[in-house]
Amino acid sequence: MGKRKITITVETHTLLSVRRRKILTRAWCQQCSDFTEFTSLEEAVALTSCDDADLNELIASEKLHTIKTLKESPLVCFLSILRHITKA
């Protein structure tokens, strides 16, 4: 019943609820050096409970990973979001 178990539960619940909404895109994350799932900036704001300014700061400090897309707004690495929200 350690902290790790709670973290896994949070990660699983978050991942499942986002998956259900089909808003994840699978792509290569350079900072994770792996294929991870990416979500929109709007979702990242909702998941982290940050405002836009906070989110930009997290991205600038590379606490959140992003990739550029053909569309205008970048996508945010879902793993980096999970790490951020479960660390708090």
The smaller minimum CB distance to Zn ion, of residues 1 and 59, is found at 59
Could you tell me the two tokens for 3? 């902290």
Under rule CB under 5 A, residue 85 binds Zn ion: no
Residue 47 neighbours by CB under 8 Å, 6+ apart = 14, 18, 39, 81, 85
Which residue among 31, 40, 41, 83 contacts Zn ion (CB under 5 A)?
31
Binding Zn ion (rule: CB under 5 A), the pick from 32, 41, 67, 85 is 32
Which residues contact Zn ion (rule: CB under 5 A)?
A: 29, 31-32, 65, 77, 79-80
